[in-house]
């Protein structure tokens, strides 16, 4: 009975998504500005998902860091030694601090204090909607107020894109790891526009809206055009079978960042890549090598 109900709910959800896409697509042709408001609202709302059993296990071992902003980070360390070097983790869109559960113990065993942040509208942090620019502004605020100076940053997906923008605000350490990240923000919008089949006029409304809300253009917030590689020794990791962020993003960035260390994987996908133990060990060794 429970399985049958779950199946009905799942089928209903699929039908509802299809209807919304059909509705917004049609609306964009007859009322492009109205469609723009709906599409922008949908684009900025991140769903919250329950933690997996593995995430629950690592969460129980953490202490909590509450920022004045109301946002929350989780901390793991062998002891309360304040001199331990900090590795700061930034999750992706619709993810949370505990998504790095495979990497966290590796870093702790290597004598790092690990701080994994929950972005606005994600994990334990408050909010209903956000975007890349707001996430970066929030991270700058929290790092500055707590006077945190990590020796390494790790960003997955949107978290990696955020690091590309973060360096415009604060000096980053040499040790930076970017995993499965979009390197051209235009591509994010292109795929979203194609998903909703939006009219050109609605697309223009969205692009102009985002451009006018920030002092940076979409080109300027893209990793492809970031100069992060000039002041860091970045490790860039991407899976060839990533279905969310094309592997082409990785290849294009490789042409732009001559001193980056590029590490392709195969068969790990976009999210499962964080659950790979050998890769977690590789990242830890890289941080040990570059953070001292």
Q: Where do the structural domains in the chain lie, given as residue ranges?
A: 2-290
Burial class (CB in 10 A: 0-12, 13-18, 19+), 75: middle
- Residue 216 near residue 242, CB atoms below 8 Å: no
Q: Which residue has the tokens 């709302």?
A: 45
- Return contacts of 40-48, CB within 8 angstroms, 24+ apart: 40/206, 40/209, 41/129, 43/131, 43/192, 43/206, 44/129, 44/130, 44/131, 45/121, 45/128, 45/129, 46/93, 46/94, 46/121, 46/122, 46/129, 46/130, 47/94, 48/94, 48/96, 48/122, 48/123
Q: First CA to last CA across the chain, in angstroms? A: 57
From first to last of the 292 residues of the chain, give the pLDDT tens digit.
545 655 554 464 566 567 778 788 888 888 989 999 999 988 899 999 999 999 999 999 999 999 999 999 999 999 877 889 999 999 999 999 999 999 999 999 999 999 999 999 999 999 999 999 999 999 999 999 999 999 999 999 999 999 999 999 999 999 999 999 999 999 999 999 999 999 999 999 998 888 787 778 888 889 999 999 999 999 999 999 999 999 999 999 999 998 899 999 999 999 999 999 999 999 999 999 998 7
Based on its alpha-carbon atoms, the radius of gyration of the chain, rounded to whole angstroms, reads 20
pLDDT given at position 3: 57
pTM: 0.92
SS3 of 10, please? helix
pLDDT given at position 217: 83
Which residues, other chains included, contact 12 with Cβ-Cβ below 8 Å and sequence gap of 6+?
Answer: none
pLDDT given at position 118: 97
Distances (CA, A) of 63 to 91, 125, 144, 232: 18, 15, 20, 30
* Among 116, 127, 113, 64, residue whose Cα is nearest residue 92: 116
- From the options 3.40.50.10470, 3.30.230.10, 3.40.50.2300, 3.40.50.1820, give the CATH code of 2-290: 3.40.50.1820
């Amino acid at each position: 009975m429970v399985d049958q109900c779950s199946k009905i709910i799942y089928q209903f959800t699929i039908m509802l998504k299809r209807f919304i896409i059909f509705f917004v697509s049609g609306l964009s042709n007859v009322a492009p500005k109205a469609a723009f408001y709906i599409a922008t609202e949908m684009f900025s709302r991140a769903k919250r998902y329950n933690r997996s059993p593995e995430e629950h296990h690592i969460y129980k071992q953490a202490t909590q860091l509450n920022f004045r902003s109301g946002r929350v980070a989780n901390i793991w360390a062998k002891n309360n030694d304040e001199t331990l070097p900090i590795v700061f983790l930034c999750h992706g869109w619709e993810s949370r601090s505990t998504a790095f559960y495979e990497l966290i113990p590796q870093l702790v065993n290597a004598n790092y204090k690990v701080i994994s942040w929950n972005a606005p509208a994600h994990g334990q942090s408050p909010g209903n909607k956000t975007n890349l620019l707001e996430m970066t502004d929030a991270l700058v605020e929290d790092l500055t107020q707590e006077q945190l100076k990590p020796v390494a940053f790790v960003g997955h997906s949107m978290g990696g894109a955020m690091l590309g923008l973060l360096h415009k605000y604060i000096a980053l350490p040499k040790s930076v790891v970017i995993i499965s990240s979009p390197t051209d923000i235009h591509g994010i919008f292109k795929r979203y526009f194609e998903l909703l089949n939006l009219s050109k006029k609605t697309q223009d409304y969205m692009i102009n809206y985002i451009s006018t809300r920030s002092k940076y253009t979409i080109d300027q917030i893209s990793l492809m055009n970031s100069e992060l590689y000039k002041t860091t020794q970045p490790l860039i990791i991407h899976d060839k079978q990533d279905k969310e962020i094309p592997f082409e993003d990785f290849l294009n960035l490789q042409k732009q960042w001559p001193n980056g260390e590029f590490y392709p994987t195969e068969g790990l996908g976009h999210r499962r890549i964080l659950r790979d133990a050998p890769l977690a060990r590789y990242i830890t060794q890289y941080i040990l090598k570059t953070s001292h």
